[in-house]
Chains A and B, each alone.
Chain A
Amino acid sequence: MTIENSLFAALAANPAVILIVGAAVSAALPAMMRRPAMLAFVSASAFQLAGLGLGNYGVLSIFEEPVAMMRIDETARLFAIVFHIAAALNIIYAWRTQDRAEVFAGLSYPAAAVGGVLAGDLLTLFVWWELAAVASALLVFAPATRATYLAGMRYLVIQILSGVLLLAGVALVYRETGSLAFGEIGLRDESGAIKTSGLVMLLAFGVKSAFPLLHNWVQDAYPKSTISGTILLSVFTTKLAVASLVRAFPGTEELILIGAVMTIFPIFFALIENDLRKVLCYSINNQVGFMVVGVGIGTASSINGAVGYAFCNIIFESLLFMAVGAAMHRTGTSKASELGGLYRTMPMTMIFCVIGALSISAFPGFAGFVTKGLIIDGAGEAHLLWLWLVLLFASAGVLEHAGIKIPFFTFFAHDSGKRPQESPPEMLIAMGVSALLCIAIGVYPQPLYALLPHQAEIAAYKPYALYHIVEQLQLLIFAVLAFAVLKLTKLYPPEVPSTNLDTDWFYRIPGRDLLRWAAAATSGVWGMSWGFVSRRFDEALGRVLAEHGPEGRLARSWPTGFMALTAAGVLGLVLLLAFSVGR
C-alpha cells in the first residue's frame, strides 16, 4: 500500500486517528448509540491496521530530517492488536455506561496507546504519550469525588512529568544523533559511559512502566476510577511503556535488576492489601517486572517472551479486573474483608475469574504458561542463576496474590452472607471471551507465536515439552499445597481493613506538609519584605513632606520650594538617564 507523503495522508492512514475521531463522534452521539459506535470505530481501526501490514508509513520531513510517522514492525503490530482486543472487550463490558467523559476516554485512551506503539519518530511518540496521560486522567477523575479529584491531580502531575522527561530526552537524542527516528537508544555509549539522553529517556519510560519507587501512582490512581475505568487503565499506560522499552532499550543490563525488583516487592504489598483491585494493581507492577526482565536480557527469545507475555497479560489481567469489578458492581465493594462466598450466586463470574487466575499463574494449558517460560528460560540461557531463582520465586508470588487471593477471597473463603445476582450479560460476554482467549492461546499458541518478532527462535521453542510441564506443575502445585497447609494451620493472615503506606506517602503527607509550609513561608517572607519596604518608603515620604509639605520649612514660600524639589527630581532623572545611556 502506498501512502502519499503529506501530513494529512499520514494522519488519515493511522488507525489511532480513526480511534480518536471515533472518540469524538461517539461522545457526541445520543446515549443509546454511543457504545455501538465505539465498537464500529474499533473494528474500522483494526481493519485499517490489518490492511496496512508491516512497514513504514507517512514519511515526512521534520527539521529537514525524513522520519516515518508510523512504523509497523512485529512488536508494534502485536501491541496494537492486543490494544484493539482490550478496547473492544472493555466497550462490551461497560455497555451500559453512557457517560460522555468515559465514552470519550474509552476510545481516545486506547487510541493514544495504539498511536504510541506505532510511532516511528520521537515527536509523534511524545504527542501520543501526552494524550495517553490526559485521556487516562479523565478516567481517574470520572467518579467526581474529592478523593478522585486529589488522586487525579497527583496522577496527572506524575504522567506529565513523564512527558516532560520524554520531551527532554527527545531533544537530547536529537542533539546526539541528529535524527528524530524512534529506534534503539540504549543507556550507554560505546565506551560504556551512561548517556544523558539514554538516562532521561529511560526515566521517562520508567515512570510510565512504574519502575520500583516510581510505581505507586498505579495503586493510588487506578482503583479510584470507575469499575470499567480501572480495567481500561490497567491495560494501556504500562504496556505502552513496555513497548517503548522493547524498541529503545533491548539488552540494557540495568533493566534486569530493575525488572527483578519489580517482580518481587509487589508480592509482599499484595499479600497484606485488603482492596482486591489494589492487589491487582500490585500485580500489574509484578507482571510488568517480568516483561522488563525480558527486555533487559535482550536475547531474541527473551524479547519474544517479553512481547508475548505482554499480549497474554493484557488479556488475563483485565479478565481478573473484570471479575473483581463484576463482584464490586453487584456488592458495592472490592474489599477482601467484605467479600467471600459469592460462588453460590455468581458461578459464571467465579469460573471466569478462576480461568484468569490459572492463566496469570501460568498453569499448563493457559495463556501465561506458553509465554512466561520464554522469559524464565532466557534467564537460564544467560546463566544468571540469581535471576532464575528470583523469577521462580516471583512465580510463586503471582500464584499467591493473583492466582489464589483474588478468586479465593472474592468467591470462597468465609461466607460474607452476600447473595448478589450473577453478573449482567454484557460483563459475562466480555469475561467469557477473555477466558476463551486465555484457554485458546494456552492450548494452541501457534497463532500468537506467528506474530512474535523473532520467528527462528520461537520455532525452536517447545512449551509443552514434558519436562517443562513437570517442572511447572511441581512449582505451582506445591505452592498451592503450602497455601492449604497455611490455611489449615491458621497461619495464613486474616484480611483486615487497612491502609498500607507506600511511596505515595512521601508526597501525600510530608510532601504536602512541605508544600504548605513552603507556601506559608513564601507568603510570610513576601509580607515581611513588603512591610519593610513600604515602611521605609512611608518614612522617607514623611521626611520629604516635613520639609516640603504645606506645613514644611521650605514651604513658607511654597511655589519656590516646589520648584526646587521638582528641579532636583528632574535633574536626578536626567543624571540617571545620561548615566545609563552613556555606558
Chain B
Amino acid sequence: MDEREGKSALDKATGWADRPVFVRGLIGALAIVGLLSVVASFIPAFRNPHPHFGGIEFPGFFAVWGFVAFMFIVLVGQHLRKIVGRNETYYDDRE
C-alpha cells in the first residue's frame, strides 16, 4: 500500500460501488428480478400466446439459454487467446 500513500483521503475510502453491501445488493436485486421473470413465465398471461417454437419455449427457457450462452462464451472463448494471443508489440516489432 506504499504507493497509495500521499493520496487524498477520498482515494483511500472505498468507493460506493466497491462496498460489499452495494455489490451484494445489486446481485440480490438482479436475482430477485430474474426469479420473478422465471416465475412469471409459468403464468399464461405472461407467456407468448403464439410461440414460434412451442417445443422448446418452456417456462424459463430464456433464463437457461442466457445463462448457458454467457458461461459458454466466457469459459470456452478465453481459450482463443492461446491460439491468437501474442505480445503487445507483435506488429510494432515486425512493421
Interface residues of A (CB under 8 A from B): 147, 150, 267-269, 271-272, 341, 343-344, 377, 380-381, 383, 385, 388-389, 392-393, 395-397, 399-400, 412, 415, 417, 419, 465-468, 470-486, 491-493, 496-502, 508-509, 512
Contact = CB atoms under 8 A, between A and B. Distances in A.
A271 B11 CA distance: 30
Contact of A471 (B30, B48, B75): B48
B17 A272 contact: no
A389 B66 CA distance: 10
A301 to B, nearest CB: 13
Contacts of B73: 267-268, 271, 396-397, 400
B71 A500 contact: no
B18 interface: yes
A474 B87 contact: no
Contacts of B78: 271-272, 493
B65 A150 contact: no
Contact of B65 (A343, A385, A389, A470): A389
9 tightest A-B CB contacts, nearest first: A380-B52, A396-B69, A474-B62, A482-B70, A475-B66, A477-B34, A474-B63, A479-B70, A499-B90
Contact of A478 (B34, B46, B49, B91): B34
B88 interface: yes
B71 to A, nearest CB: 5
B63 A475 contact: yes
A70 B50 CA distance: 42
Interface of B: 3-4, 7, 10-11, 15, 17-18, 27, 30-31, 33-34, 37-38, 40-41, 45-49, 52-53, 56, 60-67, 69-71, 73-75, 77-78, 80-81, 84-92, 94-95
A341 B66 contact: no
B71 A341 contact: no
A481 B27 contact: yes
B63 A380 contact: no
Contact of A272 (B49, B56, B81, B91): B81
Given A474-B60, A478-B64, A479-B66, A385 B87 contact: no
A479 B69 contact: yes
A392 B69 contact: yes
A482 B52 contact: no
B74 to A, nearest CB: 6
Contacts of B85: 272, 498-501
Given A377-B52, A470-B37, A486-B75, 5 more contacts: A392-B69, A399-B70, A467-B49, A474-B38, A477-B63
A381 B64 CA distance: 22
A478 B88 contact: no
B87 A499 contact: yes
Contacts of A478: 34, 62-64, 66-67, 70
B41 A470 contact: yes
Contact of B86 (A388, A396, A419, A499): A499
12 contacts: A267-B77, A272-B80, A272-B81, A392-B62, A419-B11, A477-B30, A477-B66, A479-B70, A480-B30, A493-B78, A500-B86, A509-B94
Most chain B C-beta atoms within 10 Å of own C-beta, residue among A150, A377, A400: A400
A509 B95 CA distance: 8
Given A417-B4, A491-B75, A500 B66 contact: no
A375 B93 CA distance: 44
A307 to B, nearest CB: 22
Given A272-B77, A399-B70, A481-B34, A147 B92 contact: yes
A470 B36 CA distance: 9
Given A269-B80, A498-B81, A396 B53 contact: no
B8 to A, nearest CB: 8
B48 A467 contact: yes
A491 B76 CA distance: 11
A267 B37 CA distance: 26
Contacts of B38: 474
Given A484-B30, A492-B74, A380 B86 contact: no
Nearest to A400: B73
A344 B41 CA distance: 39
Contacts of B52: 377, 380-381, 383, 388
A430 B65 CA distance: 36
A473 B37 contact: yes
A470 B61 CA distance: 11
Contacts of A395: 66
Contacts of B74: 271, 400, 482-483, 486, 491-493
Contacts of A380: 52-53
Contacts of A482: 66-67, 70-71, 74
Contacts of B4: 417
Contact of B53 (A385, A466, A468): A385
A578 B35 CA distance: 99
